[in-house]
Structure 1
Amino acid sequence: MNNVAAANDMNRLTDDSQELRIVLLGVCGAGKSAIGNAILSQDVFEESGTRASEIQRGRVDDRNISIIDTPGFFNTQLTDEELQEQMMKSLSLAHPGPHVFLLCIKLETFEKDERNVVQQIQQNFEEEAFKYTLVLFTGREHMSNREWMVFKSNRKFQELVSHFRGQYHEINSKEEIKQSHSSKLIKKINEFVKQNGGQHYNNKSYAVSLMESRID
């Protein structure tokens, strides 16, 4: 490898380390947009009825962050094909690929929300995405410490997080999120990215479909 090529590779690594790319996932009403606003400490995402993938950027803890909001799974306002198109759009917005898929699930509606979310991620992004998915449970303030411990031993909880190597984090709901909570979430995400060696999602079949869509 010549010096120019080596320098280019180093620049790409530096760029990746400077920008953190997050794609928000979840069913309709999971609070994805609110989480995006909380992370960026700005009301940049409209918090109702997201129908198209959208990117917003900010700087948090001395790091550039790009957050891509997406329509909810099981969105009755979109056909399956339209939803898939928006998921593909989310990846193009996160080019060259997201470091984290943040799967937002409300604790109070967990029994309903956890239905088929794993299947939805697999259908839209394939199993490669599991490695880059961090489950975020919201509404932690509604549970006592004992209730939280019991919940974590629940079979459905264990089954869900097992698909994602047991990677999860909990946070309060929108009305109760404090700056310290957002900072802890960012710290968790940074640790998660570090565990993945700083790599980002880069599904080959996605790259092929993206090229084909550009040709069309």
Structure 2
Amino acid sequence: MSHLNLSEVRLVVLGRAGAGKSSTVSTILGLEDGAALSQECMKYTGQVAGRQVTVVSSTDWFGSGCVPEDRRIQLSSLLALSSPGPHAFLLCVPLNQPADGETKALDVLEKVLGPALVQNHIIVMFTHIEELDQEEGLEDYLLIWRKDLAELVRRCGDRYHTLETWPGRAKPDEAVRELLDKVDQAVVASGADHFSCQLYQSIEEQIQKRQREIIGQRQADGLDSEDIEGVRLEAERSIEGIDLNLDGLFPSSDVQVSTGRSFLWGLWEKLTGWVWRLPKLVRREALLGALVGLFVGGPVGGAVGATVGSVATEVGRRKTQKSK
């Protein structure tokens, strides 16, 4: 089978705080810009391009500030709400920030749900793409400037997309249809109706058992038991105690290094705030050099960063002169 058009699509939207999860959900379901979505793990459903699309929006469960018990609860809720298994996970990745958190998220998903998930069912959703010039392609930008993000995409089977648009690019509704086409292609390539694994199968069995209990209780109480969707959601929300093996994925040392990470993120924010005032072609090269100095560290990092930045800036200026 080379093509598929799913009548019902189940999606999970993942991402750190500020990665654009809300805007992604809103764009997919055609909600108003700036629609207030819950900060908790929630399920949203709508009609999109003639299909029923269900989107489960996740919390920032892989952030270093999330305590172990909250992380377990949030992951359990995510899995229960997306049972019997989504057709695709959409990992929101800001184009203008390092991707260390997203890399950790993939590590966790591989450990909990298996490597087939990352290889076959994750689509990297790039957000905050104002870094790109209008005439610049996303693929070229990744290969030339952000090899860390290119590696993230490669790990996810070379699947990526963006819903953010500007003049000359696809309109939001076209971008959503393209996304659904990519979901179809991923499902066809995986050879399965949707993603599933032993953990999801166990969760689905618990949900169906709880559904029967809820319906029986409602009938005994003389209440309406015909609201199938409502009963299903209540059953999903009641699932607790999912056995998630997170050992070693979030070591206690994360807490100790969080101060250092916060310091680096502070430098990152100041750095991006400065380079954003420069012309795009020049600021990118300046940012490249500064990043080398920031993350290599020490006198060597500073010297290398300065050299990389100055050389890349000169290349960018020559490129600009040639294009005139």
2:87 aligns to what? 99
1:190 aligns to what? 184
Structure 1, unaligned stretches of length 5 or more?
1-15
TM-score under structure 1 length normalisation: 0.75
Q: Does structure 2 conserve the Cα–Cα contact (< 8 Å) formed by 1:151 and 1:157? A: yes
Instruction: Tell me, yes or no, if structure 1 residue 168 matches structure 2 residue 160.
Output: yes
1:151 aligns to what? 142
Aligned residues: 198
CA distance in 2, matches of 1:208, 1:89: 14
**Counterpart pick for 2:36 among 26, 46, 49:** 46
Question: Whose RCO is larger (CA < 8 A, sep 6+)?
Answer: 1
Question: 1:211 and 1:185, CA in 2 relative to 1: closer, same or farther beyond 3 A?
Answer: closer
* RMSD of aligned alpha carbons: 3.2
User: What secondary structure does 1:35 align onto?
Assistant: helix
CA distance in 2, matches of 1:28, 1:206: 26
2:263 aligns to what? none
Q: CA deviation at 1:92?
A: 1.7
More strand by share: 1
Instruction: Tell me, yes or no, if structure 1 residue 84 matches structure 2 residue 95.
Output: no
2:320 aligns to what? none
**Counterpart pick for 1:201 among 182, 195, 198:** 195
Q: Does structure 1 conserve the Cα–Cα contact (< 8 Å) formed by 2:12 and 2:86? A: yes
Question: 1:41 and 1:122, CA in 2 relative to 1: closer, same or farther beyond 3 A?
Answer: same
CA distance in 1, matches of 2:143, 2:37: 28
TM-score under structure 2 length normalisation: 0.53
Deviation string 1:24-44 (CA, Å, 9 cap, x unpaired) is 111121111210111000159
Q: Does structure 2 conserve the Cα–Cα contact (< 8 Å) formed by 1:139 and 1:173? A: no
User: What secondary structure does 2:43 align onto?
Assistant: strand
Which residue type is aligned with residue 73 of structure 1?
W
More helix by share: 2
Structure 2, unaligned stretches of length 5 or more?
207-237, 242-324
Q: CA deviation at 1:187?
A: 2.5
**Counterpart pick for 2:59 among 57, 66, 71:** 71
Question: 1:115 and 1:215, CA in 2 relative to 1: closer, same or farther beyond 3 A?
Answer: closer
Which residue type is aligned with residue 159 of structure 1?
E
Q: Does structure 1 conserve the Cα–Cα contact (< 8 Å) formed by 2:89 and 2:122? A: yes
Q: Does structure 2 conserve the Cα–Cα contact (< 8 Å) formed by 1:106 and 1:113? A: no
Larger radius of gyration: 2
Question: 1:163 and 1:42, CA in 2 relative to 1: closer, same or farther beyond 3 A?
Answer: same
2:124 aligns to what? 135
Q: Does structure 1 conserve the Cα–Cα contact (< 8 Å) formed by 2:80 and 2:203? A: no
State the identity as a percent. 24
**Counterpart pick for 1:21 among 10, 16, 21:** 10
Q: CA deviation at 1:113?
A: 4.8
CA distance in 1, matches of 2:87, 2:174: 22
CA distance in 1, matches of 2:18, 2:87: 24
Deviation string 1:49-105 (CA, Å, 9 cap, x unpaired) is x2x211010111111110000101344674223223222222221221101011111
